[in-house]
Amino acid sequence: MSPILPEPRPDLTGFAPYRTQQMKAEVRLQANEWADPNPAARYLSAEELEALLLNRYPGAASELHAALAERYGVAPDQIVIGNGSNEVLLYTFLLFGGHGRKTLLFQPTYSMHARLTQTAGGTVADELIGLPYALPVERALAAARRHRPEIVVICSPNNPSGTLIGEEVILSVARALPRSLVLVDEAYADFAGFTVVPRIAGQPNLVVTKTFSKARAAAGLRLGILLAHPEVAAMYRAVQLPYNVNAITAAVGAKIARDEAQVRRRVERNRTERDRVYAALRRVASIEAFPSETNFVLFRLKSGATEDVHARFLGESVLLRDLSTWPGCAGCLRVSIGTPEENDRFIAALAAVFGAAVAA
Ligand SMILES: Cc1ncc(COP(=O)(O)O)c(C=O)c1O
């Protein structure tokens, strides 16, 4: 006999969990992480660990805020920290979205923006851009005027297309809807050398999120940030959970935030490796590969099923992300850039799966 269960909010009945593809594989290129091992022991000495007292609630993370403020040229009170950027994204939809309010998304884009909009009780207005993903100012403005959203999300560079949406587009939308929030998700911006953070000062409805999970090589740390006008940041602080970032994450995060030389080195290596992976994909006649500014490349099969191709790569112990169910992404798979050795494995698997000569 099935038990009698409590009833969730009707709009969340049957809401499925966020799906990640967690099959076993030697080469894991499905989650856009940084592939080189980054052990925690690199960041905290035995003495620093001794001084981290877990019986107390975490302090104000002032060292982390100071490092980030210096890096991004903002005041410490313009920074909101979170348990991954997903947490500061959730705050955004709780604060500016919710019942009777709309989020405008340019699809295909990072699926959590839609999920978190719904979790907060709001409605998604999808504008289907498709692939290749290009968003001219007029198209963005027309969508903003048509939907009159309370939140507009622009992911730049965009996941999964890998393409940049320029500052002009972002600012035009922000100026057209001064009472709405324009959220720029810059999770991959380091790889592209792009940011609109300097524009926040003159455009208070602009907020920017960043993550430690990509070019900062710390997805397991769970640290993300939001940069906002001081008065907007204060709105976030009002809804933020107390002590949402733990003491260990804050201590390690402060060290990583000051490690810009490593970020530059990774960005450089990523560019070389991405060029190699992209060139190999381009040599396969039955694939359309999309140019990328990030640490992943999206490609579309001209024929055949993504499930089959995904399974055949898995047969070579290479795990990719099947994105064929994302809006406008029929036939698409995404490969993250790995270590040079992992990329060699991907390129060899590409030859095996498509029976083509793909090596340079
Ligand atoms: C565009 C985008 N934003 C945010 C995130 C989530 O980042 P975090 O690990 O900081 O929660 C991802 C993760 O893949 C992403 O692709």
Q: What is the pLDDT of residues 270-297, one digit of tens each?
A: 999 999 999 999 999 999 999 999 999 9
- For residue 277, what pLDDT is reported? 98
- For residue 20, what pLDDT is reported? 72
**Alpha carbon distance 251, 261 (integer Å):** 19
Is the C-beta atom of 86 inside 6 A of ligand 1? yes
**Alpha carbon distance 119, 98 (integer Å):** 8
Is the C-beta atom of 299 inside 6 A of ligand 1? no
The minimum-distance atom of ligand 1 relative to the CA of 188 is 1
**Alpha carbon distance 150, 121 (integer Å):** 13
- For residue 16, what pLDDT is reported? 87
Q: Quick one: DSSP state of residue 77? A: G
- For residue 19, what pLDDT is reported? 75
The best mutation among 19, 29, 86 to test binding of ligand 1, ranked by most ligand atoms within 8 Å of the C-beta, falls on 86
The best mutation among 80, 85, 222, 326 to test binding of ligand 1, ranked by most ligand atoms within 8 Å of the C-beta, falls on 85
* Mean confidence (pLDDT) of the chain: 96
Q: Tell me what the mean pLDDT of segment 145-172 comes to.
A: 98
The superfamily CATH assigns to domain 16-38+261-354 is Aspartate Aminotransferase, domain 1 (3.90.1150.10)
The minimum-distance atom of ligand 1 relative to the CA of 155 is 1
**Alpha carbon distance 329, 39 (integer Å):** 35
Helix and strand numbers, DSSP H then E, in the chain: 12, 13
**Alpha carbon distance 321, 341 (integer Å):** 19
Q: Tell me what the mean pLDDT of segment 255-277 comes to.
A: 98
**Alpha carbon distance 350, 335 (integer Å):** 11
Q: Tell me what the mean pLDDT of segment 164-175 comes to.
A: 98
Is the C-beta atom of 224 inside 6 A of ligand 1? yes
Q: Which two tokens stand for residue 102?
A: 């709309």
Is the C-beta atom of 159 inside 6 A of ligand 1? yes
Is the C-beta atom of 213 inside 6 A of ligand 1? yes
- For residue 357, what pLDDT is reported? 63
CA 85 to ligand 1 centroid distance, Å: 6
| Dihedral (CA of 200, 245, 60, 249) sign | negative
- For residue 17, what pLDDT is reported? 86
Q: Tell me what the mean pLDDT of segment 168-191 comes to.
A: 98
- DSSP E strand stretches across the chain: 27-28, 79-82, 102-107, 123-128, 151-155, 181-185, 206-211, 224-227, 287-289, 296-301, 318-319, 321-322, 332-336
pLDDT band of residue 22 (cuts 50, 70, 90) is: confident
313, 319 in Cβ contact below 8 A?
yes
Does pLDDT of 356 surpass 80? no
The best mutation among 28, 105, 110, 210 to test binding of ligand 1, ranked by most ligand atoms within 8 Å of the C-beta, falls on 110
**Alpha carbon distance 101, 84 (integer Å):** 25
CA 158 to ligand 1 centroid distance, Å: 11
| pTM of the model as a whole | 0.97
Q: Tell me what the mean pLDDT of segment 94-103 comes to.
A: 98
**Alpha carbon distance 286, 225 (integer Å):** 40
**Alpha carbon distance 43, 22 (integer Å):** 28
Does pLDDT of 24 surpass 60? yes
- For residue 359, what pLDDT is reported? 56
Does pLDDT of 140 surpass 80? yes
- In SS3 terms, 239-301 reads as HCCCCCCCHHHHHHHHHHHCCHHHHHHHHHHHHHHHHHHHHHHHCCCCEEECCCCCCEEEEEE
CA 12 to ligand 1 centroid distance, Å: 22
Q: What percent of the chain has pLDDT over 70?
A: 98
The b-or-e profile of 322-333 (16+ CB within 10 A means b, else e) is bbbebbbbebbb
The domain 40-258 is classified under which CATH number: 3.40.50.300, 3.20.20.70, 3.40.50.1370, 3.40.640.10?
3.40.640.10
The per-residue pLDDT for range 198-248, each reduced to its tens digit, is 999 999 999 999 999 999 999 999 999 999 999 999 999 999 999 999 999
Higher per-residue pLDDT: 23 or 161: 161
**Alpha carbon distance 178, 150 (integer Å):** 10
Is the C-beta atom of 187 inside 6 A of ligand 1? yes
How far CA 123 is from CA of 12, 15, 101, 113, 205, in Å, comes to 12, 14, 6, 11, 20
pLDDT band of residue 329 (cuts 50, 70, 90) is: very high
Task: Please give the biggest Cα pair distance in the chain.
Answer: 62
CA 55 to ligand 1 centroid distance, Å: 31
Q: Tell me what the mean pLDDT of segment 28-51 comes to.
A: 97
Domain ranges across the chain: 16-38+261-354, 40-258
- Strands 224-227 and 123-128 turn out to be unpaired
**Protein residue closest via CA to atom 12 of ligand 1:** 187
CA 153 to ligand 1 centroid distance, Å: 13
157, 191 in Cβ contact below 8 A?
yes
The per-residue pLDDT for range 123-133, each reduced to its tens digit, is 999 999 999 99
144, 103 in Cβ contact below 8 A?
no
Q: Estimate to the nearest angstrom the gap between the alpha carbon of 83 and the chain centroid.
A: 14
The minimum-distance atom of ligand 1 relative to the CA of 89 is 4
CA 358 to ligand 1 centroid distance, Å: 31
**Alpha carbon distance 57, 59 (integer Å):** 7
